Amino acid sequence: MSETDEAIHELLVDSAQLSPGGRVADLGCGRGPTLAAFARRLPSARLIGFDVSTADVEAARTLLADHPGGAELRVTDLSGPLPLADDSVDAVVSYNVLECLADPAALLREVARVLRPGGRAVVAHVDFDSLMVAGAPRELDRRVCHAFTDDQQPWMAHADGRIGRKLPGLLGASPLVVEGVVPLVTTSTVLEGHAARRIGHIREAVSGAAATGRGPVSAQEVADWDAGVRLAAAEGRFFFAETAVTVIARAVA
Ligand SMILES: C[S@@+](CC[C@H](N)C(=O)[O-])C[C@H]1O[C@@H](n2cnc3c(N)ncnc32)[C@H](O)[C@@H]1O
């Protein structure tokens, strides 16, 4: 399974209920996996993507270059106002981005401003304290997974790894009207695909934190954790799960 085929992106497309020719903005689009899912399903959709990373915006531009409906990708810091007119988009989506913002409520006010009345906002985030990894011994596994949840990685201006559980409250307090909350549990019994990528994220983030004296876990402990996960996978004992929380809301008509 490639990163762009992951179920969460399909869930975001389903939940946005975009009509053919509709305009959707992906806030923190990264390299474009969610917009690519829209492009596959709705060839006439008009795609907009914002991200603070120039490299990611370039990658998304390449990925979506042939989309018939057109794709406007722009380097934008979501901690400021969105470069969109009032009532100008039919749907807004965002996946795994709000944890990086010091004031996610401010972005949600911007979402309410740019959505047309009745337009949908679909905001999803993994709650990293939901991680379940069968591999390393209990205490080591707890310490490494919690260190990952709590770490502010160098590319983040802010970090809240437990924001998934806060999304319903954040959206509920915003000018948007919450229509539903959908959990998506991703599981794997093999160290491949999404599970392998997430294990890699954890290893790199926590060992990077150890190297710069940031985290509570040593480089040797991260290496031991990783070896435990790999041994479990080799012996058929590996299991991985994480939960993403998706909140579906609409702009007041
Ligand atoms: C975990 S990635 C998720 C990317 C994409 N939504 C996906 O599903 O692959 C988080 C993204 O948020 C972007 N980001 C973080 N802080 C941001 C900010 N202040 N403004 C805009 N983008 C930001 C990062 O550059 C990164 O591409």
pLDDT tens-digit series, residues 120-177? 999 999 999 999 999 999 999 999 999 999 988 888 888 899 999 999 999 999 999 9
3-state secondary structure string across the chain? CCHHHCHHHHHHHHHHCCCCCCEEEEECCCCCHHHHHHHHHCCCCEEEEEECCHHHHHHHHHHCCCCCCCEEEEECCCCCCCCCCCCCEEEEEEECCHHHCCCHHHHHHHHHHHEEEEEEEEEEEEEEEEEEEECCCHHHHHHHHHHHHHCCCCCCCCCCCCHHHHHHHHHHCCCCEEEEEEEEEEEECCCCHHHHHHHHHHHHHHHHHHHCCCCCCCHHHHHHHHHHHHHHHHCCCCEEEEEEEEEEEECCC
CATH number (3.40.50.150, 3.40.50.1220, 3.10.129.10, 3.90.1420.10) of 3-250 reads 3.40.50.150
- pLDDT tens string 49-76: 999 999 999 999 999 999 999 999 999 9
How remote is the CA of residue 30 from the centroid of ligand 1, in Å?
A: 5
Residue 52 CB–ligand 1 contact under 6 Å = yes
How remote is the CA of residue 6 from the centroid of ligand 1, in Å?
A: 17
Residue 44 CB–ligand 1 contact under 6 Å = no
Q: Where do the structural domains in the chain lie, given as residue ranges? A: 3-250
Q: Is the per-residue pLDDT at 8 higher than 60?
A: yes
Q: Is the per-residue pLDDT at 1 higher than 60?
A: no
Higher pLDDT, 213 or 59: 59
Residue 99 CB–ligand 1 contact under 6 Å = no
- pLDDT tens string 128-141: 999 999 999 999 99
How remote is the CA of residue 19 from the centroid of ligand 1, in Å?
A: 25
- pLDDT tens string 85-115: 999 999 999 999 999 999 999 999 999 999 9
